[in-house]
Amino acid sequence: MKKIGRPEPRKRSEKKLSPGLKGTVQLYFNDILLGAINADNGRRYPFKRAQWMSDTEPNIGLRVAFELDGSQAVRVRILQIRNRKTEDRKTG
């Protein structure tokens, strides 16, 4: 039976992550598996390929959601895949 009152302390291995953010992949280097996301808050956050949660490979221009661990983007997942052919028809 759980005690009522104080919440249980977090274990040392559990990191507190910031709430989710959204942004666009601005850079990605496939040879070194590193990239950067321009967040909607105007800041740029680096990410590692190991933190990419989607099946689709990282690519410049993808809209993503992510969390922060310090100043590093973690748990990065795709929100929307841009279709360049469709966008070109709309603009041209």
Residue-wise pLDDT for 49-73, tens only, equals: 999 999 999 999 999 999 999 999 9
- Following DSSP, what letter does each residue of 14-83 receive, concatenated? PPPPPPPEEEEEEEEETTTTEEEEEETTS-EEEEEGGGB-SSSPP-TT-EEEEEEETTEEEEEEEEE---
How confident is the model at residue 20, as a pLDDT? 85
- Domains of the chain with CATH codes: 21-85 (2.40.50.140)
Single pTM value for the model: 0.69
Q: Which percentage of the chain shows pLDDT scores above 70? A: 65
User: What is the H or E stretch that residue 86 is in?
Assistant: helix 84-91
* Residue 7 pLDDT class (50, 70, 90 cuts): low
SS3 helix, strand, coil % of the chain, rounded to 5? 10, 40, 50
